[in-house]
Amino acid sequence: MKLIVQIPCYNEEHTLPGTIADIPRQIDGIDQVELMIIDDGSTDRTVEAAAQLGIDHIIINKKNLGLARTFRKGLDECLKRGADIIVNTDGDNQYYGGDIPKLVEPIVQAKADIVVGDRQTSTIPHFSPFKKLLQRVGSATVRRLSGTDVTDTVSGFRAFSREAAIRINIVSPFSYTIENIIQAGKKHMAIASVPIRTNPKTRESRLFKSIPRFIERQLSSMLRMYLMYQPLRFFAYIALALTFIGLIPITRFLIYYFMGDGSGHIQSLILGSVLLLIGFVTFVMAILADLINFNRQLLEMTLEKVRRIELGDHKK
């Protein structure tokens, strides 16, 4: 069984040595451990540092593609090199590599398809109370949307079985973490969460410039993924709400009409009719979105088969 640890990097010349130093090269149940960096258009000596550290595989993006696309490219490259298990960690040495055996254990024991490292954010000293609150609320929301029980949904320290990596499709250009969990939950993959340790902070996050910007992007990712997998439910709820609201002024008009005063309240009838019409159109949108959802599933099945053919993977 081969394990490849992939490390997306962007200007990690100084932190990469510490990241590599923590990663064990011998793990029970694993025959071979290899390291891969995916350099996302770094402008420093990240690639040279990786070569000096003896990294097994160095993948280079000619320009900066962003974390999500670099993560997806890493999965593809690991699969091409025959990885049975893929671990993703950050190049800034945020996660303690010595916990990789704990991270992959559920996959080795065939108990999980994906394992996410729980940083136990409530205990991290450099996280402000507000950031800890955001983590709790955000993770609870993702658990609700995905139907999973992942404690730390934005943790980038996670492991994938070969089967899970083949089935994952990342479409967001921003971050893969939330999208990955919602998608895996909707595809009924087995997801586990294990507590892991973190290292002292080495630098500020490059993924977002401010908390409001981070919240905006994460919320848009949640909404986009939920719409992708539950369009009928989402639009049907809106249609029902508009219909209910529309019935209120219509009922008001009917009451006055039967009391002989309908002519003075015609605006209620107009308003209610417009709302009912919008509700009907929204319901039609719900049906169309659901049909598109079925087409997306067919496309994903086709893409999965193409990947298996390319990889020579004949597993179901």
Domain boundary among 194, 227, 260: 227
Claim to verify: residue 99 and residue 247 sit in the same structural domain: no
Determine which helix (DSSP H) or strand (DSSP E) holds 2, and give its type and residue range: strand 2-9
Claim to verify: residue 199 and residue 261 sit in the same structural domain: no
Claim to verify: residue 114 and residue 248 sit in the same structural domain: no
Q: Nearest 5 degrees, angle CA 95-CA 97-CA 98?
A: 125
SS3 percent helix, strand, coil of the chain, rounded to 5, is 55, 15, 30
The rounded distance, in Å, linking the Cα atoms of 83 and 301 is 21
Number of domains in the chain: 2
Claim to verify: residue 282 and residue 156 sit in the same structural domain: no
**Is residue 262 in a domain?**
yes
DSSP calls for 27-95: -TT-SEEEEEEEEES-SSSHHHHHHHTT-SEEEEESS---HHHHHHHHHHHHHHTT-SEEEE--TT--B
**Between these two residues, 313 and 46, which has the higher pLDDT value?**
46
**Is residue 316 in a domain?**
no
**Between these two residues, 164 and 203, which has the higher pLDDT value?**
164
**Is residue 215 in a domain?**
yes
Claim to verify: residue 17 and residue 40 sit in the same structural domain: yes
Domain boundary among 193, 227, 261: 227
- Note the pLDDT of residue 273: 93
Claim to verify: residue 186 and residue 289 sit in the same structural domain: no
- Note the pLDDT of residue 102: 94
Mean pLDDT, residues 12-25 taken together: 91
The rounded distance, in Å, linking the Cα atoms of 199 and 111 is 28
Query: What is the domain extent for residue 241?
Result: 231-308
Residue type, 144: R
**Is residue 111 in a domain?**
yes
**Is residue 313 in a domain?**
no
Question: 58 forms bridges with which residues in the sheet?
Answer: 37
Domain boundary among 227, 258, 286: 227
pLDDT digits (tens, 9 = 90+) for 45-64: 999 999 999 999 999 999 98
Claim to verify: residue 223 and residue 131 sit in the same structural domain: yes
Claim to verify: residue 278 and residue 196 sit in the same structural domain: no
Strands 114-118 and 57-61: unpaired
Whole-model pTM above 0.85?
no
What Cα–Cα distance (Å) separates residue 37 from each residue in 131, 169, 261?
Answer: 29, 20, 76
How does residue 117 score in pLDDT terms, banded at 50, 70 and 90? very high
pLDDT digits (tens, 9 = 90+) for 250-277: 998 888 888 877 677 788 889 999 999 9
- Note the pLDDT of residue 204: 63
Q: Please tell me whether residue 195 adopts helix, strand or coil conformation.
A: strand
The rounded distance, in Å, linking the Cα atoms of 36 and 56 is 6
Claim to verify: residue 62 and residue 81 sit in the same structural domain: yes
The rounded distance, in Å, linking the Cα atoms of 1 and 159 is 14
Claim to verify: residue 124 and residue 268 sit in the same structural domain: no
Largest CA distance in the chain: 90
DSSP calls for 205-257: -SS-SSHHHHHHHHHHHHHHHHHHH-HHHHHHHHHHHHHHHHHHHHHHHHHHH
CATH number at residue 194: 3.90.550.10
**Is residue 268 in a domain?**
yes
Work out the number of other CB atoms within 10 angstroms of the CB of residue 95. Answer: 26
Claim to verify: residue 268 and residue 222 sit in the same structural domain: no
Describe the strand order of the beta sheet including 114-118 as a list of residue ranges. Answer: 57-61, 32-40, 2-9, 85-88, 158-161, 114-118, 191-195
Claim to verify: residue 217 and residue 296 sit in the same structural domain: no
